[in-house]
Chains A and B, each alone.
Chain A
Amino acid sequence: MNTVVRNLRVVRRMTAAEIAQQSVYRGAWIIFMLANICMPVISLLIWRTALANGAKLPVDERYITTYFVLLGFVTMATSSWMAAFLANDIRLGKLSSWMVRPASLLVKFVANNLSEKFLKLFALVPMIGIVWWIFRDSMNIPADAGRWALFAVSIVLGAVLVFTIDILIAALAFWMDDVGALVQARVIIASVLSGAVVPLALMPAWSRGFVDHQPFRYTVSFPVEIVAGQLTGRELLAGLGIQLGYVVVLGALARLVWAAGIRAYSAVGA
């Protein structure tokens, strides 16, 4: 228990320091967040046009609108961009200096993740607010506060899941020289399977069994579905259970791989 508390304290201190450091680039965050909502807004307009033009979608206009308005927020909140940086730290031997410190190198990446998201929030929320206001008449807004609480829980679990997947990919740098291609492959595959490009509800029927149960759904699509969709209470619980299951299983796996990697690590540049 003591180590957990100590690590949390380190994370809190480092996050505060990172926030101070990163807020220098506040203009850049605003521009990045502008790019972040471009794609969801384009998709939103396209699918609304298709619906207005008589396309027979399995979901209605309210679902599509709510989905894409919230999408930009959820992709940001659950994102992780550290795989390439972490792999570099391993490959170039930066890890060495962290191994003699009383905290894991991963703590630095957790702090970086939290601090950047905190700053991005200030830029992104007003933008989402504007899009929300424009489409306010066709938004699904659950009155039930419980849904929003589950939405928040699911986002946190999703963020942990993405972060864990990134650790798993970056940890391959202990054995491989270049994981750049793998990182890129993860980004491309996840963009489709997470529902960031097209709502998974629109995927063809033959792919449903796979699409609904693969881990990437629980990184973006599932939290959005909680608010936008018609998930029944049962589906909701089952979904959260699966999400939690993935977090636990992948988390345990990441811990094993990371530990094995540390043992296999031979310091470069020491």
Chain B
Amino acid sequence: MNTYAEERPSLDRNWLQLQWRHVRLWRRFFAQAVVRETHYRAHFLTTLLVGLVQLGLGIVPTLLLFGFTSEVHGWSRAEVIALVGVFQIVTGLIATFVAPNLNRMTTYLTEGELDSVLLRPVSSQFYLTLRWINVAELTNVASGIVVLVIGLVQSDLRPGFGQVVQAVVLAGCGLVLLTAVWSAMSFLAFWLQSVNPIGVVFLSMVEAGRYPLVFFPVAVRTFLTFAFPVAFATTFPVRALAGDLGWGPVVLGLGLAVVAMTLVRLVWRRGLLTYSSASS
């Protein structure tokens, strides 16, 4: 007879299978989230409406700004509108897949919910970062795509296939980098106990991504590229679509994304060592 105390074969034969198992699990999370959402149709509708109003008001400063000038540092109004579209897409994806999880970090730690996660045959960091999905926020991604297309049409940009690939990869890197930054900030909960306000700071700082990088002073640009890498999420993808970006930044983005994920992994490991269950 087998008991749980006995040595048992690992669930996965190799590293690849381990990753694949997590992908399959994530698909389940997503399917469950979609089913959940169909139960809360009013929530879906209010998220859609609030998202649209916020998108409209978020574009007001840009429209006002370009009422006083036709271009700022080489950016036309249409290009900045395209950039707002990309911003909306990336923040929409963060709000869908990442925010519902990192906003719970304090509860996980202070209420001891992390205990039951640690017992599961799954990467605990993966589970804490991606378990919950807010499907309704995908409407903001859709409206972002519409704004992006409007911006591209107005600015007469006709990106080729290579440029679209660059843009998508860069936006993906931006998404990963921002997630890494927010995760690292949230994992501070291991030492600080309560990190709910940190989410508020993160979301306020992300607002800088509504504007092209060159709109900021040089020192701030460096900060927004390497420390709080919102540039990869919005400015670089749009410049890639405009065709004035080589593959250099793409490689840089991928490199930074790998470094950031490794660092976050390290923070998580260190944090986990300090965790002394809250529930038992």
A positions within 8 Å CB-CB of B: 25, 27-28, 31-32, 34-36, 38-39, 42-43, 45-47, 49-50, 53-57, 181, 184-185, 188, 191-192, 197-198, 202-204
Contacts and interface: CB of A to CB of B under 8 A. Distances in A.
A181 B205 contact: no
A35 to B, nearest CB: 4
A204 B67 contact: yes
Contact of A32 (B50, B61, B200): B200
A38 B205 contact: yes
B87 to A, nearest CB: 13
Which of B53, B68, B214 lies at the interface centre, i.e. has the most chain A CB atoms within 10 A of its CB?
B68
A7 to B, nearest CB: 32
Interface in B53-107: 53-54, 57, 60-61, 64-65, 67-69, 72-73
Contact of B69 (A46, A54, A192): A54
Nearest to B58: A197
A53 B57 contact: no
B61 A57 contact: no
Contacts of A46: 61, 65, 211, 215-216
A42 B73 contact: no
Nearest to B75: A53
B60 A42 contact: no
A53 B196 CA distance: 39
A56 B68 contact: yes
A54 B74 CA distance: 12
Given A38-B204, A45-B216, A184-B50, 12 more contacts: A25-B194, A31-B198, A31-B200, A35-B197, A36-B204, A38-B208, A39-B204, A39-B207, A47-B65, A55-B68, A55-B69, A202-B68
Interface of B: 46, 50, 53-54, 57, 60-61, 64-65, 67-69, 72-73, 192, 194, 196-198, 200-201, 203-205, 207-208, 211, 214-217, 220
Nearest to B195: A31
A34 B200 CA distance: 9
A25 B65 CA distance: 39
B220 A56 contact: no
A198 to B, nearest CB: 5
B215 A28 contact: no
Contacts of A32: 197, 200-201
A219 to B, nearest CB: 17
B197 A45 contact: no
A194 to B, nearest CB: 12
Contact of A49 (B46, B60, B216): B216
A55 B60 CA distance: 17
Contact of A202 (B64, B211, B215): B64
B215 A49 contact: yes
Contacts of B60: 192, 197-198
B46 A31 contact: no
A173 B67 CA distance: 41
Contact of A55 (B65, B197, B198, B204): B65
- The 6 lowest CB-CB distance pairs between A and B, nearest first, are A38-B204, A55-B69, A31-B197, A35-B204, A55-B68, A35-B201
17 contacts: A31-B198, A31-B201, A35-B200, A35-B204, A38-B205, A46-B61, A46-B215, A49-B214, A50-B69, A53-B72, A54-B69, A56-B68, A188-B50, A188-B54, A192-B60, A197-B61, A204-B64
Contacts of B200: 31-32, 35
A270 B280 CA distance: 36
B88 to A, nearest CB: 16
Nearest to B53: A188
A35 B192 CA distance: 18
Contacts of A49: 72-73, 214-217
B264 to A, nearest CB: 20
A38 B207 CA distance: 9
Given A42-B208, A42-B211, A53 B69 contact: yes
A107 to B, nearest CB: 27
B101 to A, nearest CB: 19
Contacts of B54: 188
B198 A192 contact: no
A9 to B, nearest CB: 33
A192 B73 CA distance: 26
A196 B211 CA distance: 17
B235 to A, nearest CB: 13
B61 A55 contact: no
Contact of A57 (B68, B73, B198, B217): B68
A202 B65 CA distance: 9
